[in-house]
């Protein structure tokens, strides 16, 4: 496609989460270069309602028909981990890059199936861990990237409290704390050792602490579990360097930079020109923009399905070491 042509996008999935985040994000001025071509959902009334509300031209109930009829440049898939491994390879095999909402699957095998299809077709799959692209986390990453001043990361402490509505402990980890693990990896790199303990006070609830070692040798600690919410952003991450500097991100909004002498706190006072600035802060607009730019420029987006395959394996290892059964059960975003 040349620079003047619009980027033709399709979406498979018009459920609660996509309605709350993807569709409104894509209708902001950040996506003026995108043509909102078609929406597909098994429930036609959902597809029609969202297409009408957010200006998408066509609706489908069969995604294969949508891919055959519309000349798309890429597709967003947002269905649920149970369905992703069956749908995403079909999209890739039809020659289209995919933005895939998390979780990529409900188990490691499903994620590996998508990874294999991505490798076979040579097409990218970006996974929707929006926090990586959130404004506060990007700000922290920029501070750390100045290696001369920050030095090497020596330790990362992170917490992301869960909430008790999840039907199993592992569902809470897979659907929610997967974001926190992706963030840890985005700061610390790949993980080589995992220790984990849990305190379970019922079949599906409890607390979890895990200790990690990164490839660099740095240590990580994370506090999860199913209590501590339900504040949607009950999260905090602190990254320490070996030159006396550190950075703390609180609730995806406030960043504290410090060295041995002084600390400074940053929080945005910029109001993005979009209906809801949380789409910017939380990373929904930036992650989708990143995906489209990467596809246009032939770059590999992050986190990729390769990254996600490792994250899924670490998640399963944390659960196994903590004695939490790897059992997923359906959960709705209408919590």
User: 127 - beta bridge partners?
Assistant: 100
Q: Work out how close the CB of 214 gets to ligand NAD at its nearest, in angstroms, rounded to a whole number.
A: 24
Q: Does 24 bind ligand NAD (CB under 6 A)?
A: no
- The DSSP 8-state label assigned to residue 211 in this structure reads E
H-helix segments, 70-133: 84-93, 108-121
**Under 8 Å between Cβ of 47 and 61:** yes
Retrieve residue 197's tokens. 């303990």
With respect to ligand NAD, which residue has the nearer C-beta, 76 or 295? 76
Chain positions 38 to 67 lying near ligand NAD, rule: CB under 6 A, are 40-43, 46, 63
Chain positions 151 to 210 lying near ligand NAD, rule: CB under 6 A, are 175
H-helix segments, 6-107: 16-20, 22-26, 44-54, 63-69, 84-93
Binding region for ligand NAD (CB under 6 A) out of 9-17, 117-125, 192-200, 320-328: 9-17
Q: How far are the Cα atoms of 33, 36, 269 from residue 129, in angstroms, in the given order?
A: 23, 22, 24
The binder of ligand NAD chosen from 9, 39, 70, 81 (CB under 6 A): 81
With respect to ligand NAD, which residue has the nearer C-beta, 40 or 292? 40
H/E stretch holding 22: helix 22-26
The binder of ligand NAD chosen from 83, 227, 258, 266 (CB under 6 A): 83
The binder of ligand NAD chosen from 39, 74, 78, 237 (CB under 6 A): 78
250 class by beta-carbon count within 10 Å (0-12 exposed, 13-18 middle, 19+ buried): middle
Do β-strands 153-160 and 219-223 pair in parallel, antiparallel, or remain unpaired? parallel
With respect to ligand NAD, which residue has the nearer C-beta, 22 or 245? 22
The binder of ligand NAD chosen from 9, 11, 14, 196 (CB under 6 A): 14
Q: Work out how close the CB of 151 gets to ligand NAD at its nearest, in angstroms, rounded to a whole number.
A: 32
- Residues 86-125 as x/- pattern, contact with ligand NAD by CB under 6 A: -x-------------xxx----------------------
Q: How far are the Cα atoms of 17, 32, 288, 299 from residue 295, in angstroms, in the given order?
A: 23, 16, 11, 6
Retrieve residue 266's tokens. 């940053």
Q: Does 332 bind ligand NAD (CB under 6 A)?
A: yes
Q: Work out how close the CB of 276 gets to ligand NAD at its nearest, in angstroms, rounded to a whole number.
A: 15
Q: How far are the Cα atoms of 132, 187, 223, 277 from residue 140, in angstroms, in the given order?
A: 11, 9, 20, 19
Q: How many CB atoms are closer than 10 A to CB 235?
A: 22
Helix axes 84-93, 108-121, angle to 10 degrees: 0
Binding region for ligand NAD (CB under 6 A) out of 13-21, 30-38, 107-115, 266-274: 13-21
Q: Work out how close the CB of 215 gets to ligand NAD at its nearest, in angstroms, rounded to a whole number.
A: 26
With respect to ligand NAD, which residue has the nearer C-beta, 87 or 280? 87
Residues near ligand NAD (CB under 6 A): 12-18, 40-43, 46, 63, 78-81, 83, 87, 101-103, 128, 130, 175, 332-333
């Amino acid at each position: 496609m040349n620079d003047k042509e619009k980027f033709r996008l399709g979406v498979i999935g018009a459920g609660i989460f996509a309605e709350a985040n993807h569709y409104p994000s894509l209708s902001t001025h950040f996506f003026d270069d995108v043509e909102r071509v078609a929406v597909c959902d098994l429930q036609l009334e959902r597809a029609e309602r969202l297409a009408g509300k957010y200006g998408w031209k066509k609706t489908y109930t069969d995604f294969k028909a949508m891919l055959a009829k519309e000349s798309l440049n890429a597709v967003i898939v947002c269905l649920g981990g149970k369905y992703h491994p069956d749908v995403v390879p079909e999209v890739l095999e039809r020659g289209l890059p995919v933005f895939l909402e998390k979780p990529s699957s409900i188990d490691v095998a499903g994620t590996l199936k998508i990874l294999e299809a991505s490798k076979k077709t040579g097409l990218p799959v970006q996974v929707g861990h929006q926090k990586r692209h959130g404004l506060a986390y990007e700000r922290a990453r920029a501070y750390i990237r100045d290696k001369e001043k920050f030095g090497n990361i020596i330790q990362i402490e992170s917490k992301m409290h869960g909430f008790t509505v999840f039907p199993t402990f592992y569902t809470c980890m897979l659907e929610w704390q997967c974001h926190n693990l992706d963030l840890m990896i985005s700061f610390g790199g790949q993980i080589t050792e995992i220790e984990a303990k849990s305190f379970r006070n019922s079949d599906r609830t409890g607390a979890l602490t895990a200790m990690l070692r990164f490839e660099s040798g740095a240590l990580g600690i994370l506090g999860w579990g199913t209590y501590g919410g339900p504040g949607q952003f009950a999260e905090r991450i602190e990254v320490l360097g070996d030159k006396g500097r550190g950075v703390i991100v609180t609730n995806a909004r406030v960043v504290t930079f410090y060295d041995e002498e002084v600390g400074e706190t940053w929080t945005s006072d910029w109001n993005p020109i979009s209906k809801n600035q949380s789409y910017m802060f939380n990373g929904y607009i930036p992650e989708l923009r990143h995906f489209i730019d990467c596809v246009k420029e032939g770059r590999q987006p992050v986190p990729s399905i390769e990254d996600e395959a490792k994250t899924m394996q670490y998640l399963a290892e944390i659960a196994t070491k903590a004695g939490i059964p790897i059992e997923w059960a359906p959960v709705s975003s209408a919590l």
